[in-house]
Amino acid sequence: MSDTSQLTADAAVPGAGRRPVPRIQVGRYRDLSLLPVIFVLGVIGFIVSPAFLTSDNLIGVLQQTSELSLLVLGEAMILICGRMDLSLESTIGVAPVVAMWLVMPSSGSATYHGIGLLPGWMSIPACLVVGLLIGGFNGFMILKLRVNGFIATLGMLTMLRGLQDGISQGKSIVEVPASFSYLGKASWIGAPAAVWICLVLFALGGLALGYLRHGRALYAIGGNTEAARAAGIRVDRITWIVLALGSLLAAFAGVLYVGHYGAVSSTQGDGWIFQVFAATVIGGVSLNGGRGTLFGALTGVIALQLVVNVTTLGGVPPLWDKFLYGAIIIVALIISRFASGEKQD
Amino acid sequence: MTNGTNDTKGTAPPPAVHAEGIVKRFGPTLALDRVGITVEAGDSHALVGRNGAGKSTLVSVLTGLHVPDAGQVSFQGAPAPAAGDTAAWQSKVACVYQKSMVVPDLTVAENLFLGRLGSGRIRWSALRERARDLLAEYGVDVDPAARAGDLTVEQGQFVEIARALSFGARFIILDEPTAQLDAAGIERLFGKLRELQRQGVAFLFISHHLQEVYDLCSTVTVYRDARHVLTAPVADLGKAELVAAMTGEDAGPQAAGWHAGAAAGTGDAEPVLHAEGLALDGVYDPIDFAVRPGEVVGLAGATASGNTALGETLVGLRKATAGRTLVGGRAVRPGSVPHALNAGIGYVPEDRHRQGLVLGRSVAENATLSVTDQLGPYGTVLPSRTRTFAERMIASLDIKTSGPAQPVSDLSGGNQQKVVIARALAREPRVLVAIRPTAGVDVKSKDSLLSVVRGVAERGDAAVIVSDELDDLRVCDRVIALFHGRVIAEFGSGWSDRDLVSAMEGLPSGGGKGAEE
């Protein structure tokens, strides 16, 4: 049995040293491919404006990144397990609005009147539960009714946006319970709490995908659903949990957003899904599922936000922002296509 | 390295294809090392070799998909067209693959004339008329207005062959054309091929199924490790010699030829696996059988016999409509793979690309996919344990890979199948259910895969092999033959090929119960 394997299988002999290491480094390298881009952006920013390399500016960028990055975190996990959720950008708006509607008193001096069903401290739990329910309903449509996930969540995107407009009467809600806005505006150890929370969530997510059996299962499900099912992985259950988790993260991003800006804006999250997809894809997550890391996705969001910051500091009028977003996505895609040598279809 | 064919020049028509000195490298790998092949006009030529011998690369070179680094290819005496001139290549050669390459949502007529529908408006009736004429010319009985996706595999292949011939090609490569066909379909395909041969069409036939080489072909070429080993008339080459040429060893006739001894299956031991009145409406009728420790039971049957569905029911991929499965006397929850796994049923799926492997992921991940709960505490999966586990599997199954981190898509077919088996064995199942475990792997891997299955029984557990391959069924102690969803015959270990094949074709040799359907 061993004679024939001598030519090729020596690396496989247990204890034969550290042969697999070069391959692992190649894998890591792919993950880090956006770091040079971020570095170059930093250099450009430094050249363009002395204000770039100040802690105020950089912390500001990170704070603006935090809400978007939670959506990216959820979408990256959903994409890795081979699904897609467009409704995240509406969840970030509708979940806080529903929570406000439940906790705000039905009469009084506030400009917005809810039904006052729950006490004020219940606002964050209520918001998160709404997120879970939305994700659960997405999962129900996709996994039980077997409708097309793209169209189903596209419908949800529009429907939830409409629900938000209906409940909030199309207005921003400026009075929110103090507990609700705390996380978004507090500052811990010199940086906004939201930034720390996002870092912790990304770290937890990365560890789960790397070291938990259910996390590893996402790659198997996204890579080949049939094979995962035949290997005894509870494909539907795990996919459902991931969809619910994605919407939960979006609802939580809504909490941070409201705290950050001090109000539930009526256009909260509007149009974000394009940036979410852009960040995940330039961060190396495959739209076909089964490939990508959360670290890559995180570098994707940061790179995207730095571009905006650098151009703003460079005096480019904000009306050109959309053009730049589109251009950066296309350039990043072309670069990563040739850097990784893999087709993205 | 002698081709011994050039003496035909001048008198006989030039060979349909002649290639010599072909070298092709992919990075550091030498895929073809100065190989040659000559297929005479109207000949049916087999190309055999183990996985990795260079057959697929040669096909790519002969069909113009790859440009060889050295060497020449000529068709009917004229040099091969320039690389990239697709139309010119299509008029010389076509390849019919294992998987159908037709566009499923278009009609047969559209598929036949795809890419040459002409300019301007499509005249549907004229198109269908042309398609009908074309199909009739080659005696293919398919409705040109049918949706291509509704055709059977065999009809799809006929359409592809007709399409190739309509481009003017007189040389067709068939890459594993019989893998998805049942015996009757194979017979019809071969009949059609012989007919076309008489019209002067030459075939290069690639198959792992050596019997088919003997049935169809007149010449055989063997490649091994990217080199040409021999070319000889099939009639002059015994099976043992052919296998020896492929493996490079003086193996005795059929290394896997051990018919399972009668010793196995110790009479009245408690059965490991017991099916009680198991049935799936419209697919197979209630069936009872038991598999005892140390026993390998074969479930034989052709494509539509229901044996695959029965295997999938046992492992929990399908939910039986009646009856139940017991492992070690305890009922297994129906229709749940995790429960079947925990009850001790290991599963080797039918199609490794569809159900067996996550191709983009590593060997280690694939091999440990069903045991992730054993690789660390509290639901964690520790990379070090995963690697150790995978290394153990790689060593014990002799999987040829550069290491556990190699993507499984880089392995050859036989080694990929070993990874699938590793995954099934990882949980140390009490009964292993393997569906066509050796489909599309070479002779030598076949032997080692089957001996792994046999080894499960020898250590006191049990195995079920669901297959229509005689070589797979030969390692079984008992074979239950299914036909159209019901048991048609049962054999001990001493069956003859003819009896089993005729049973799978619905003709029980002895009794004749329920044969006509």
Q: For residue range A184-224, list pLDDT tens digits in order.
A: 888 888 889 999 999 999 999 999 998 888 898 999 999 88
B466 and B389 part of one domain = yes
Is some CB atom of chain B closer than 8 A to the CB atom of A234? yes
Please indicate, yes or no, if residue B514 is contained in any of the structural domains: no
B448 and B364 part of one domain = yes
Per-residue pLDDT, B265: 44
B60 and B133 part of one domain = no
Per-residue pLDDT, A29: 61
Q: Higher model confidence: residue A295 or residue B253?
A: A295
Q: Higher model confidence: residue A18 or residue B408?
A: B408
Give me the residues paired with residue B486 across strands.
B483
Please indicate, yes or no, if residue B300 is contained in any of the structural domains: yes
| CATH number, residue B289 | 3.40.50.300
Residue A164's pLDDT band (cuts 50, 70, 90): very high
Ramachandran category for residue A243: left, alpha or beta (phi over 0 → left; psi -120 to 50 → alpha):
alpha
Give me the domain span that covers residue A55: 33-42+51-170+191-261+269-312+319-333
User: Which residue among B198, B213, B247 closes a domain?
Assistant: B247
Q: Do B369 and A214 touch (CB under 8 A)?
A: no
Please indicate, yes or no, if residue A103 is contained in any of the structural domains: yes
Please indicate, yes or no, if residue A227 is contained in any of the structural domains: yes
**pTM, to two decimals:** 0.73
Best A216, A291, A344 member to test B by mutation, with max B CBs in 10 Å, is A216
**What does the mean pLDDT of chain A come to?**
85
Per-residue pLDDT, A158: 94
Give me the domain span that covers residue B444: 273-504
Q: Would you state the structure tokens that stand for residue A88, as one six-digit string?
A: 């995240």
Which 8-state DSSP code applies to residue B151? S
Are A265 and A247 a contacting pair, CB within 8 Å?
Answer: no
Which chain B residue's Cα is nearest to A19? B403
Residue A302's pLDDT band (cuts 50, 70, 90): very high
| CATH number, residue A164 | 1.10.3470
Q: Would you state the structure tokens that stand for residue A80, as one six-digit string?
A: 């890795």
Looking only at Cα atoms, what is the longest distance across chain A? 86
B456 and B338 part of one domain = yes
Per-residue pLDDT, B245: 81
Cα dihedral A279, A281, A284, A285 sign: positive
B122 and B94 part of one domain = no
B82 and B190 part of one domain = yes
DSSP code per residue over B306-360: SHHHHHHHHTTSS--SEEEEEETTEEPPTT-HHHHHHHTEEEE-S-IIIII--TT
Min mean pLDDT across A1-10, A54-63, B189-198 is at: A1-10
Examine the pLDDT at A170 and tell me if it is beyond 90.
no
Is some CB atom of chain B closer than 8 A to the CB atom of A18? no
Per-residue pLDDT, B51: 62
Residue A12's pLDDT band (cuts 50, 70, 90): very low
Which chain A residue's Cα is nearest to B360? A223
Element (H, E) at B148: none
Give me the residues paired with residue B482 across strands.
B487
Domains of chain B: total: 3
Domains of chain A: total: 1
B253-272 per-residue burial string, b: 16 or more CB within 10 A, e: under 16: eebbeeebeeebbeeeeebb
The contacts of residue B99 (CB under 8 Å, 6+ apart) are: none
Which chain A residue's Cα is nearest to B407? A23
Query: Which parts of chain B have pLDDT scores under 50?
Result: 1-10, 250-266, 510-517
User: Which residue among B247, B282, B317 closes a domain?
Assistant: B247
Are B305 and B285 a contacting pair, CB within 8 Å?
Answer: no
Please indicate, yes or no, if residue A64 is contained in any of the structural domains: yes
B390 and B429 part of one domain = yes
Determine the residue type at A104.
M
User: How distant, in Å, are the alpha carbons of A177, B321, B472, B473 from that of B257?
Assistant: 79, 38, 11, 11
B449 and B484 part of one domain = yes
Give me the residues paired with residue B70 across strands.
B23
Which 8-state DSSP code applies to residue B244? H
Residue closest to A258 by CA, chosen among A76, A99, A72, A86: A99
Please indicate, yes or no, if residue B175 is contained in any of the structural domains: yes
Please indicate, yes or no, if residue B484 is contained in any of the structural domains: yes
| Residue corresponding to tokens 């995978």 | B390
Per-residue pLDDT, B28: 67
3-state class of A197 per DSSP? helix
Q: Which residues of B touch A14 (CB under 8 A)?
A: 388, 391-392, 395
Q: Do A12 and B399 touch (CB under 8 A)?
A: yes
Residue A339's pLDDT band (cuts 50, 70, 90): low
Please indicate, yes or no, if residue B261 is contained in any of the structural domains: no
Please indicate, yes or no, if residue A19 is contained in any of the structural domains: no
Per-residue pLDDT, A136: 96
Best A2, A8, A224, A342 member to test B by mutation, with max B CBs in 10 Å, is A224
Q: Would you state the structure tokens that stand for residue B134, as one six-digit string?
A: 């074309």
B461 and B326 part of one domain = yes
B92 and B183 part of one domain = yes
Please indicate, yes or no, if residue B110 is contained in any of the structural domains: yes
Per-residue pLDDT, B352: 81
Best A213, A288, A343 member to test B by mutation, with max B CBs in 10 Å, is A213
B342 and B406 part of one domain = yes
Segment A216-273, tens digit of pLDDT = 899 999 988 988 988 888 999 999 999 999 999 999 999 999 999 888 988 888 889 9
Which chain B residue's Cα is nearest to A222? B358
Are B314 and B400 a contacting pair, CB within 8 Å?
Answer: no
Please indicate, yes or no, if residue B415 is contained in any of the structural domains: yes
B112 and B144 part of one domain = yes
What is this model's ipTM?
0.75
Q: Which residues of A touch B349 (CB under 8 A)?
A: 227, 230
Per-residue pLDDT, B98: 64
Please indicate, yes or no, if residue B260 is contained in any of the structural domains: no
What is the nearest CA distance from B392 to chain A, expressed in angstroms? Answer: 8
Give chain B's contact residues with A (Cβ, < 8 Å).
315, 317, 337-338, 340-341, 347, 349, 354-361, 365, 369-370, 372-373, 375-376, 379-383, 387-388, 391-392, 394-395, 398-406, 423
Per-residue pLDDT, B489: 86
